[in-house]
Amino acid sequence: MAVITFTSDFGYADQYAAAVKAKILSQDMQATIVDVSHAIEPYNIAQAEYVLGSVFSEFPEGSVHLAAVNTLGNKLGIYHAARYKGHYFLLADNGLLSLLTDGKPEMVIEIKTDNPLMPSPVKDLLAPAAVFLAKGGNIEVLGDRTSNFRQLMNRQLRLGDHSVSGHIIHIDRYGNLITNITRESIDTIAHGRTFTVHFARETAVRVLKNYAQVNDGDCCCIYNSQGRLCIGVNKGRAADVLHLGFDSQVKVRFYPGS
């Protein structure tokens, strides 16, 4: 049986996440359920995309990813099963699928239900579908193929001859600022030139290996394991120190002839 991952905005104080896992286990006691996070901010699709999008490919192909964020965000009660890069996703038609797949899932199924406006769709509809897929069930049994799903667009980089402009797309629990600027985009524009990273009123002239390479309380930039440019403060919270947040601009400037 394939792994079922579970990401939600249910939090840890209530019974909601446990009820979904109870439903899964009631249908298959051998189910392997991995919690990605239940601390996604309520209704925060962008945060869910970053957290799940950063890790789903680390799981074996065939894994089933249950994404219960802003689940009631579709007033029509439409829910999808999708396949992308050898993985399965179960989620509401709220735009998250388009963000996770850059709008290009390999297959999307609108899940059949006699009660589209049920109060607990994750537990009563998506959890049984997760068990079905994890056991090797054919995704097309769950409903009808569709190309009609809500489209949202990830924030795009602006690439110039001498700069890369991006935004902060996530703040982790340490207050580190993760941007959508990638090592690849910087290397593509740099052509061996030196550069500086500009954020708030600060600049960084190097990208280091990790935050511990600077003194406690000092700010620096690193690439994380996904190759994204990150801004952090060693043993401090960059978000608080720099007064930056989601969607704040970050710019990399390159120096001609250097």
> pLDDT tens digit string along 108-137?
999 999 887 889 999 999 999 999 999 999
Residue 169 scores a pLDDT above 60: yes
Domain count, the chain: 2
Euclidean distance between CA atoms 247 and 244, whole angstroms: 9
Query: What average pLDDT does the structure give for the chain?
Result: 95
pLDDT per residue as tens digits for the range 2-59:
999 999 999 999 999 999 999 999 999 999 999 999 999 999 999 999 999 999 999 9
Q: Among 118, 145, 172, identify where a domain stops.
A: 145
Q: What is the pLDDT of residue 257?
A: 63
Report whether pLDDT(256) > 90.
no
Residues whose CB falls within 8 Å of the CB of residue 116, separated by 6 or more in sequence, listed in order: 76, 77, 78
Domain boundary residue, one of 117, 145, 173: 145
Q: How far is CA 91 from CA 72, 82, 174, in A?
A: 10, 9, 28
Percentage of the chain beyond pLDDT 70 is 99
| pLDDT exceeds 60 at position 235 | yes
Tell me: do 108 and 11 sit in the same domain: yes
Asked whether residue 97 is domain-assigned, the answer is: yes
152 lies in some domain: no
Residue span of the structural domain in which 67 resides:
4-145
- Do residues 99 and 154 lie in contact, with contact meaning Cβ atoms separated by under 8 Å? yes
pLDDT at residue 55, rounded to an integer: 97
Q: How many CB atoms lie within 10 A of CB 236?
A: 17
- Among 18-27, 72-81, 82-91, 146-155, the range scoring the smallest mean pLDDT is 72-81
Question: Has residue 101 got a pLDDT over 80?
Answer: yes
What is the percent of the chain with per-residue pLDDT over 90, rounded to a whole number?
91
Compute how many other C-beta atoms are within 10 angstroms of the C-beta atom of residue 181. 26
Identify whether residues 36 and 117 lie together within a single domain. Answer: yes
Of 145, 171, 189, the residue at which a domain comes to its end is 145
